[in-house]
Structure 1
Amino acid sequence: MATDIRSSELKSPIDVAEYLFRRLHEVGVRGVHGVPGDFNLVALDYIPKAGLNWVGNCNELNAGYAADGYARVKGISAVVTTFGVGELSLLNAIAGAYSEYVPIVHIVGTPSTLSQRDGLLLHHTLGNGNFEVFADMSHNISCAKAKLNDPHEAAMLIDNAIRECWVQSRPVYITLPTDMVQKKIEGDRLKTPIDLSFPSNDTEKEDYVVDVVLKYLHAAKNPVILVDACAIRHRALEEVHEFIEKSGLPVFVAPMGKGAVNETLPNYGGVYAGNGSNAGVAERVESSDLVLSIGAIKSDFNTAGFTYRVSQLSTIDFHSGYMRVRYSEYPGVHMHGVLKKVTSRMGKLNIEAGPAPDNEIAKKDQGMSKGEVITHDWLWPRVGQWMKPNDIVLTETGTANFGIWETKFPEGVTAISQVLWGSIGYSVGACQGAALAAKETGSRRTILFVGDGSFELTAQELSTMIRNDLKPIIFVICNEGYTIERYIHGMDASYNDIQQWKFKDLVSVFGADPKKSKTYQVKTKQEAEDLFKDENFSSAPYLQFVELYMPKEDAPKALKLTADVSAKTNVSSTFQI
């Protein structure tokens, strides 16, 4: 008996693949990342039919990084791979997105349902007839799974997966067998948009928590606000901004929360990361009698090696799935509704001002004598002076990731880094995705700072940027290898060295039009200063690539602190007394 829905029974028949891609278009996706393979080729034909563009990456890992960067700008992304060999190459990137709450729809073109049912010995399999093994691998790094094996269920499964991806802000896994791509399903469902709203809190519970929060907030003598990554990931920034501006309380960000707060506000105080904090920040935050912590992720690199000194007894935690007031936890009460009501009811609060960060370069670092080398202490405040409102700035795990803490942003900047997962080379792929999102949404500059070692892992995505006519400004920090690893262990070890490339020459190697690209080599402070003052360079008219040379052993203070703690943590179990 046929399992298909007969076209005559459908009001508006539509193929499964077109339905899927039109739903992705509905939620804001315009560029689809991925790599073609024989089990997804027919599905790829439907991408332009749905008003989407195929990006086409150099490999699946890079495609995943790119989808991650795209989602952090656009709100959600999609990546298509083929069964087995393709999807496994993507998993590192998907795991990173899962750990850092980034919503990616991962679509896998799989063998036909008949081939799977009969356990055929197909290519891209393990040769044992098990077609579930790869889906099982994705199980723990996806918040929802949709196997489109039956046209009766396909539309419902697609809608549910996309909704979960959006609401939980994590990757979902969708399999599309080759014989399901062109099956007809009901297209009338497309007239009703997917419900992407967050479930409301129980009113009684929410009001109770709001009263508890207000009680401690009004009693506090010097409260502060600390904003972290999950405020961004769970789309609570509107509520957070209203709370910050109306309260007037000193507000700080954790490293993963950079970009969550308008840093031009008078009550913005800088980055709090324990011992790695901006000047004056640790003293102000740690002396507060109440810390309103919004969306915290207290990982090692996000806290400069677990050097937070804030007691839970003086903390109120706002999260997407629960609230915690001191040591009392309220599950199922999310921060969106609580923040709105606290803001509307808070009244007058006790305010003790915090520090006021700037982008001033310390006197000891201001020297511009001939041949003076570029240092991190000079570079990052200078970058802050050069940045423009609404820039997108990406920093790779390593010196750049820690250096950006010392940069005060203009309004509207989006900061992208992978502080928790920390996969080396992430930022190059993410830059491609972010630059594509910037192209789709307006004229925002996309700026990447990446170490030479990291760049060598994913350099091929420079080719994808050129192919898609993207215009990022790429700074490759040339400091002879893996500086962050050197500080953790092996300062002069050969495994922390890399082959020295002629990095900027890759722009022409990858086929860039000389009229649509430009490269630079910068080795001194004066050369860097001249570049930052170059109006054509700053206007980002086309792809620009900068070799930025820095001393091998120079690093931001916060990196040195965190690396030292990481080194001790790595050996602590071995040398217990």
Structure 2
Amino acid sequence: MSTQSVANLQSEVSRLRHELQTLKVEDQVPAAGDTITIADYLLERLTQLGVTQLFGVPGDFNLGFLDYVESHSKVEWVGNCNELNAAYAADGYARVKEGSIGALLTTFGVGELSATNGIAGAFSEHVPVLHIAGVPSTSQQKSKPMLHHTLGDGRFDAYYKASQQFTISQASLTDAASAGAEIDRVLTDCVVSARPVYLMLPTDLVHEKIPAKRLRTPLNREPPANDPESEEFVLDEIMKLVGQADEDIIILVDACAGRHNVKAELAELVRKTGFPVYAAPMGKSVVPETYERYGGIYVGSISRPEVREKVENAKLILSIGGLKSDFNTGNFTYHIPVQRTIELHSDHTRIQFAAYHGIGMKHLLPKLTARLQPLHEGARQLVVPKFDAPVPTEDNQIISQAWLWPRVAQFFRSNDVIVTETGTSSFGMLDVPLPDGAVYVSQILWGSIGWTVGSTLGAALAARELGLGRTLLFVGDGSIQLTVQELSTMIRLGVKPIIFLLNNSGYTIERYLHGYNAHYNDISNWRWTSLLSTLGGVEGTNCQSHIVKTKDELDALLKNEAFAKADKIQLVEMIMEKHDAPKGLKVQAELSGKTNKG
């Protein structure tokens, strides 16, 4: 049997062992009356995972469960303007509150399908979200009457089947006997896989009582252990390549290093080895960007020349949690030969052309760090380009893309949560450094415009719980129109993000992809500074709006202590040129345009 076959078999054995550990309960008979409703059981499991916010929209098939949420002491009902925004908010919450998950509740059919785009985005980007769908009673699912919210053809499982495309695990609760185990199964899959899961909660089972003893055993959040022999073989293979590289090694960090809970292990690797560190766009802020051995963002041919030279000429690249999508790689312009690459992922390791399934980075990284630490002195001799972004001098008052991003970077503080929209904002932010403790939130792979508004709500609630700094949103005038209603939820809940709105008359990223002067990329120009008061705020009391048309006006606002304090929700409308865009976006759009033409 080949080494690969052995690794695959051992991976499956580890997975099954892990599942048994998860389902194991204490050998203890509960006291008389030691039962709990299925609704409260689910809420207690969420509490154990650190969830304090439940996003969603009420509907008749979830109202019974909402009664339990309303009376729960730790889980708060958020209540969103629509289910899509709720899914976006759960996503943002999970990204900021690392180690926990996002959770949303929708009603059968019409509600859950509205949320599907947000769930698919969380799946794409490895974000753990629980989607609870309140559904008709078990008896109705069997008799199949022509209920509202159905397709009218008796297919009560249609939405469940749809969910299988966008979630890693699903459960349809059918009886009280299996409910606890099924809830535990999908929640474990959610945490360990860092992917969304789906739970059908029938109206009649919400109130059913089940034994509470399972709650005494916390869910097992750890990924399956690596097989010791296979892991040792993998470490030996890695060290062979390390030896051949003469210590000319760089670390390339990507999204899954953050999503799959290896930040601590990665930090040890970085600190104890001293190898130069770079990040892909989706890995921005996973490693502190003030770290002296951090060199900036590598995004293929779009990279800064000095970054591209260091990464592509290294003799060995240690890739941690890579997601090689088009926008994350400069339209697949990585110039890193497979022969010089080692990839560490959550559930496998790839060394050159060989893949070792079941050897995950969570348990592998500490052992690899121990082996690499003796190379510390040599690694420290490798030159790392300084990652900075000086504000350019321009002989005009236009708020240009080239000037804006380095300038707002000076406004950032430690522990700020910075959210950028797909397109102009996410590309503009790539080449400016963030301060220590800053959390960067973007959606580069899925790229659903408008995602940031709902996500900012979830991110701001998580930041408030964790005692982080301000929440700052950078969004275009086109994108915000898709999901603007959620500003009203922010006002109602008292979160206080600063929303920097780029008013550049439409869909700038689309203009560069196709239709530079086409009318289909134009939008209506709203009265942006009236938005907050229209959606429930009181100007000067719990909200404040600003409009800036020049560099000097924006500079003065950013220096204003009352503004920077962020003690109320604020919106800043920035008037910008229609066809101006960050350099990286222009290059990416040109590359994508060529690809789209075939």
Q: Tell whether the structures are fold-level matches, with TM greater than 0.5.
A: yes
- 2:63 partner letter: L
SS of the residue 1:249 aligns to? coil
Q: Which runs of 5+ in 1 are unaligned?
A: 1-7, 573-577
Q: Which residue of 74, 81, 85 corresponds with 1:62? A: 85
- Judged with a 3 Å threshold, the aligned counterparts in structure 2 of structure 1 residues 212 and 99 are, in CA distance, closer, same or farther, namely same
| 1:356 counterpart = 2:386 | yes
Q: Does the CA-based 8 Å contact 1:10-1:185 persist in structure 2?
A: no
- 1:229 partner letter: A
Q: Which residue of 461, 465, 476 corresponds with 2:486? A: 461
Aligned to 1:13: 35
Distance 2:63 2:469 in 1: 33
- Which stretches of structure 1, 4 residues or longer, exceed 6 Å deviation after superposition? none
- 1:327 partner letter: F
**RMSD value over aligned CA atoms?**
1.3
Distance 1:306 1:22 in 2: 44
Q: Which residue of 489, 492, 515 corresponds with 2:514? A: 489
- 2:35 partner letter: P
Shift of 1:556: 0.8
| 1:556 counterpart = 2:582 | yes
Q: Which residue of 4, 15, 40 corresponds with 2:62? A: 40
- 1:398 partner letter: G
| 1:427 counterpart = 2:452 | yes
Shift of 1:218: 3.3
SS of the residue 2:165 aligns to? helix
Q: Does the CA-based 8 Å contact 1:275-1:558 persist in structure 2?
A: no
Shift of 1:554: 0.7
Q: Does the CA-based 8 Å contact 1:264-1:409 persist in structure 2?
A: yes
Per-residue CA distance 1:305-336 (angstroms, 9 max, x = gap): 11111111100001011111111221110012
Residues 425-574 of structure 1 aligned to structure 2 (within 5 Å): 425-514=450-539, 515-572=541-598
Per-residue CA distance 1:455-475 (angstroms, 9 max, x = gap): 000000111111111110101
Q: Does the CA-based 8 Å contact 2:348-2:355 persist in structure 1?
A: yes
Aligned to 1:575: none
Q: Does the CA-based 8 Å contact 1:368-1:526 persist in structure 2?
A: no
Residues 203-282 of structure 1 aligned to structure 2 (within 5 Å): 203-221=228-246, 222-282=248-308
Per-residue CA distance 1:46-79 (angstroms, 9 max, x = gap): 1143321100000000111111000101131100
Distance 2:570 2:52 in 1: 24
Identical-residue share of aligned pairs (%): 49
Shift of 1:537: 1.3
Aligned to 2:407: 382
Distance 2:143 2:514 in 1: 52
SS of the residue 1:374 aligns to? coil
Distance 2:384 2:521 in 1: 40
SS of the residue 2:222 aligns to? coil
Distance 1:561 1:264 in 2: 27
Q: Does the CA-based 8 Å contact 2:88-2:455 persist in structure 1?
A: yes
| 1:180 counterpart = 2:202 | no
Residues 101-180 of structure 1 aligned to structure 2 (within 5 Å): 101-180=126-205
- 2:75 partner letter: L
Shift of 1:193: 1.2
Distance 2:243 2:269 in 1: 14
SS of the residue 1:201 aligns to? coil
Report which stretch shifted further, 477-486 or 561-570. 561-570
SS of the residue 1:141 aligns to? coil
Distance 1:488 1:191 in 2: 54
- What is the number of residues matched between the two proteins? 560
Aligned to 1:411: 436
Shift of 1:279: 4.6
- 2:385 partner letter: P
Q: Does the CA-based 8 Å contact 1:105-1:171 persist in structure 2?
A: yes
Distance 1:64 1:176 in 2: 18
Aligned to 2:9: none
- Judged with a 3 Å threshold, the aligned counterparts in structure 2 of structure 1 residues 11 and 215 are, in CA distance, closer, same or farther, namely farther
- 1:66 partner letter: A
Aligned to 1:395: 420
Q: Does the CA-based 8 Å contact 1:274-1:303 persist in structure 2?
A: yes
Distance 1:219 1:391 in 2: 41
Distance 2:71 2:130 in 1: 19
Report which stretch shifted further, 73-82 or 341-350. 341-350
SS of the residue 2:526 aligns to? coil
Q: Does the CA-based 8 Å contact 1:473-1:540 persist in structure 2?
A: yes
- Judged with a 3 Å threshold, the aligned counterparts in structure 2 of structure 1 residues 431 and 202 are, in CA distance, closer, same or farther, namely same
Distance 2:450 2:459 in 1: 15
Shift of 1:570: 1.2
Distance 1:218 1:471 in 2: 52
- 1:42 partner letter: G
Q: Does the CA-based 8 Å contact 1:11-1:187 persist in structure 2?
A: no
Distance 1:48 1:199 in 2: 36
Aligned to 2:76: 53
Shift of 1:9: 9.6
- Judged with a 3 Å threshold, the aligned counterparts in structure 2 of structure 1 residues 203 and 49 are, in CA distance, closer, same or farther, namely farther
TM-score by length of 1: 0.95
Q: Which runs of 5+ in 2 are unaligned?
A: 1-29
Q: Does the CA-based 8 Å contact 1:393-1:447 persist in structure 2?
A: yes
SS of the residue 2:496 aligns to? coil
Q: Does the CA-based 8 Å contact 2:416-2:468 persist in structure 1?
A: no
TM-score by length of 2: 0.92
